[in-house]
């Protein structure tokens, strides 16, 4: 299905092509350049406890196959290539042999646990994370596997029984919902929320262990999976309330870093008996967080309640509420509060403001996050709430996370706004030609309105901001969820990638710089030197984006190579470019040229391979680097992204 006619299409004003690709120069980095920074996003979860990787002291003794280094590299083209390390600390590498192949077990033992880590697999390598040393989430080089089973990366490995018939010895395995794996040699991120089995006072199991949530590279691949016993090759055959973390070390090379844990207990916060006052308000506030001084108003309704609920009042709009009571804090420490509220909300504990939500954002999810330190014990609290005029949006929710306390609701069931559970409306790609569709795209929290999403028969896809000439996201697998655009249209109306997406930097790809070290622009501007010339479609439906600079035309063509699993980009120029026109190939925390000649971008999040020709230059400072190449001097450039 090709959404566009095969003709050139003109798109409105200024554009600049963001070439989020990864390249690095062979020489030393250029002198520092300035870079605008955005304010940090709000903290939406309490920090993990970090397991130190300065040495192996946090782990039980090994055979010597595990080593602490500062950096790791493995050649993605060589099967089970060793993981090479650079002297230093912060990264674990495993290079097992026949003589040295021990697993890595923590000295810490855990029950309920949330954990995260980053891992790097050698090509063809195999490992696993065992919760309590018993229940495995598989680590494997599963890059490019179309239909993963439980033995592939992210799978919850099967159990094993030799007494069962052939073909049935492995059972109760759980494949990942989809393949979210990255290429070998890249860092991948894994988060696991685990609930330990329960036992009574006599040691009898009363509830099975559960994988409450497993997220691989930002994609939820498991949700609430019950585990009836230890998986195959577990370190322990029995089940207990606690056990160590284990990383399998006898199946192949890998690297691990940034291990964080949140051990959970059965402690909870609770609200004591409460009183409420409802106030009728005549008109909407000038701003959403205009909560009036309730002390000067007469309530229209008062009462007592044992729950925080949106049903404390029948009013649907233009009212205020004051809720007062006590909150039981089980342990002194840091707590993180958040809310869902259609209107302004403030929470005070013992007179201290711990949450202030302006209510100006649409009610589509949690907001108003704030971390605060609280003392253990019974504390007085006040909750002030201003409901806005939207009678059809009604909901009130309050959440908290604390020391040893998983995120929990403080509101009654049913109090949050109930959003419909819409299923994706999948747009499939034609088997013979690319599919291209206009729509809105979310990138780094910002909605881009002048975009095209392009799906390739090879199963590799991308979207592109035509207004900024910026490559936004790349992904593999299924193409696009268009439900928000074509059915039940609401506020966002987004085109959403169906496969695991890699977010690129979103900066303009082309710029005319006053000098090689001049700052790269954040946008092109309507009157800048680079102007959109629209796009045209090839015979197989792939867009070629056109840009006018002076009297020259830049053509930008992105295509997919299924056999090599990469997106290739060709930049060509017709006519003579003005002086000092540059191409930004990549931008990120760091850019490194690897021993095999490829480039690793943004802390080894993806690879960039060049198609020959001059090497680009790396410029920047610690924490931000850019890879650029003179387009004026090099009117034909080709490179590829691999992830």
**Distance in angstroms (rounded) separating the CA atoms of residues 125 and 110:** 27
Q: Tokens in use for 14?
A: 């200024």
Instruction: Please check whether residue 455 is in contact with residue 429, taking contact to mean a CB–CB distance below 8 angstroms.
Output: yes
pLDDT tens-digit profile of 169-215?
999 999 999 999 999 999 999 999 999 999 999 999 999 999 999 99
Q: Is 592 exposed, middle or buried (0-12, 13-18, 19+ CB in 10 A)?
A: middle
Q: What does the alpha-carbon distance between residue 113 and residue 194 come to, in Å, rounded to a whole number?
A: 5
Residues of the chain with pLDDT under 70: 1-40, 283-290, 360-365, 389-392, 490
Report the distance separating Cα 174 and Cα 435, nearest Å.
33
For residues 175 and 135, give the distance between their C-alpha atoms in angstroms, rounded to a whole number.
Answer: 14
Give CA–CA dist 604/618, Å, rounded.
Answer: 15
Q: Do 243 and 108 contact (CB within 8 A), yes or no?
A: no
Q: What is the pLDDT of residue 589?
A: 93
| CA–centroid distance for 464 within its chain | 19
pLDDT at 1: 41
| Predicted local confidence at residue 12, as pLDDT | 35
Contacts for 58 with CB less than 8 Å, ≥ 6 apart: 51, 52, 106, 107, 108
Chain center to CA of 367: 18
Task: Assign 3-class secondary structure to 360-380.
Answer: CCCCCCCEEEEEEEECCEEEE
Edge-to-edge strands, sheet with 496-497: 426-427, 480-481, 496-497
Alpha-carbon distances of 147 from 224, 262, 479, 492, rounded to whole Å: 21, 32, 16, 31
Helices (H) and strands (E) in the chain, counts: 1, 47
- Element housing 484 (H / E): helix 483-486
Neighbours of 312 (CB within 10 A): 21
Cα torsion through 346, 351, 353, 354, rounded to 10: -100
pLDDT at 34: 43
Contact, 79 vs 124, CB < 8 A?
A: yes
First to last CA, the chain: 26
Cα–Cα distance, 380 to 243 (Å, whole number): 39
Give me the phi and psi of 129, to 5 degrees please: -105, 120
Residue 83 tokens read as: 């993981």
- Which three-class secondary structure state does DSSP give residue 295? helix
What confidence score (pLDDT) does residue 471 get? 95
Give me the pLDDT at residue 22, please.
30
Q: Which residues contact 236 (CB under 8 A, 6 or more apart)?
A: 132, 133, 134, 230, 243
Beta carbons within 8 Å of 166's beta carbon, 6+ residues apart:
none
Place of tokens 């987004």: 494
- Please choose, from the candidates 359, 357, 342, 358, the residue with its C-alpha nearest in 3D space to the C-alpha of residue 393: 342
Number of neighbours of residue 332 by Cβ within 10 angstroms: 13
Q: Please report the pLDDT score of residue 316 as a whole number.
A: 74
Mean pLDDT of the chain: 89
């Amino acid at each position: 299905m090709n959404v566009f006619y095969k003709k050139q299409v003109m798109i409105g004003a200024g554009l600049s092509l963001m070439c989020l690709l990864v390249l690095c120069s062979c020489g030393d980095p250029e002198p520092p350049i300035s870079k605008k920074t955005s304010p940090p996003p709000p903290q939406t979860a309490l920090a993990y406890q970090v397991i130190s990787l300065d040495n192996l002291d946090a782990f039980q003794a090994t055979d010597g196959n595990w080593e602490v280094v500062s950096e790791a590299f493995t050649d993605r083209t060589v099967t089970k290539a060793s993981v090479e390390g650079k002297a230093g600390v912060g990264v674990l590498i495993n290079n097992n042999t026949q003589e040295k192949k021990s697993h890595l077990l923590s000295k810490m033992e855990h029950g309920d646990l949330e954990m995260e880590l980053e891992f790097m697999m050698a090509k063809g390598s195999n490992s696993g994370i065992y919760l309590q040393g018993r229940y495995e989430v598989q680590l494997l080089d599963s890059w490019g596997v179309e239909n993963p089973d439980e033995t592939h990366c992210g799978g919850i490995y099967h159990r094993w029984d030799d007494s069962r018939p052939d073909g049935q010895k492995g059972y109760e395995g759980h494949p990942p919902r989809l393949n979210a794996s990255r290429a070998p040699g890249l860092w991948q991120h894994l988060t696991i929320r685990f609930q330990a089995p329960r036992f009574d006072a006599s040691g009898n199991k009363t509830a099975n262990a559960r994988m409450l949530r497993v997220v691989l590279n930002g994609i939820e691949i498991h949700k609430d999976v019950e585990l009836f016993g230890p998986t195959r090759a577990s370190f322990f055959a029995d089940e207990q309330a606690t056990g160590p973390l284990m990383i399998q070390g006898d199946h192949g090379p890998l690297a691990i870093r940034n291990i964080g844990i949140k051990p959970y207990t059965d402690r909870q916060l609770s609200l004591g008996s409460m009183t409420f006052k409802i106030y009728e308000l005549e008109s909407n506030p000038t701003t959403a967080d205009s909560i009036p001084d309730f002390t000067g108003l007469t309530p229209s309704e008062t009462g007592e309640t044992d729950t925080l609920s949106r049903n404390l009042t029948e009013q649907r709009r233009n009212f205020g509420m004051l809720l007062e009571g006590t909150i039981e804090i089980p342990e002194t420490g840091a707590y993180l509060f958040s809310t869902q509220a259609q209107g302004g909300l403030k929470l005070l504990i013992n007179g201290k403001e711990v949450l202030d939500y302006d209510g100006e954002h649409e009610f589509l999810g949690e907001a108003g996050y704030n971390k605060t330190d609280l003392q253990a014990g019974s504390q007085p609290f006040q909750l002030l709430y201003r409901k806005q005029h939207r009678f059809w949006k009604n909901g009130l929710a309050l959440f908290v996370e604390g020391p040893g306390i998983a995120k929990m609701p403080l509101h009654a069931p049913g109090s949050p706004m109930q959003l419909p559970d819409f299923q994706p409306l999948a747009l499939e790609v034609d088997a013979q030609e690319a599919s291209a569709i206009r729509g809105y795209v979310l990138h780094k929290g910002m909605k881009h309105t002048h975009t095209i999403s392009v799906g390739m028969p090879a199963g590799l896809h991308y979207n592109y901001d035509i207004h900024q000439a910026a490559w936004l996201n790349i992904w593999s697998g299924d193409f696009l969820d268009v439900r928000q655009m074509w059915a039940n249209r609401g506020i966002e109306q987004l085109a959403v990638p169906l496969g695991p997406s890699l977010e690129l930097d979103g900066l303009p790809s082309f710029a005319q710089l006053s000098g090689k070290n001049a700052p790269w622009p954040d946008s092109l501007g309507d009157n800048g030197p680079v102007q959109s010339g629209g796009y045209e479609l090839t015979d197989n439906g792939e867009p070629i984006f056109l840009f006018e600079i002076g009297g020259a035309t830049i053509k930008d063509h992105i295509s997919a190579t299924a056999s090599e699993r990469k997106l290739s980009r060709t930049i060509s120029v017709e006519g003579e470019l003005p002086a000092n026109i540059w191409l930004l190939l990549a931008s990120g925390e760091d850019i490194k040229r690897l021993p095999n000649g490829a480039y690793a971008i943004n802390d080894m999040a993806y690879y960039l391979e060049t198609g020959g020709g001059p090497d680009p230059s790396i410029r920047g400072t610690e924490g931000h680097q850019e890879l650029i190449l003179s387009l004026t001097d090099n009117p034909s450039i080709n490179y590829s992204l691999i992830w």
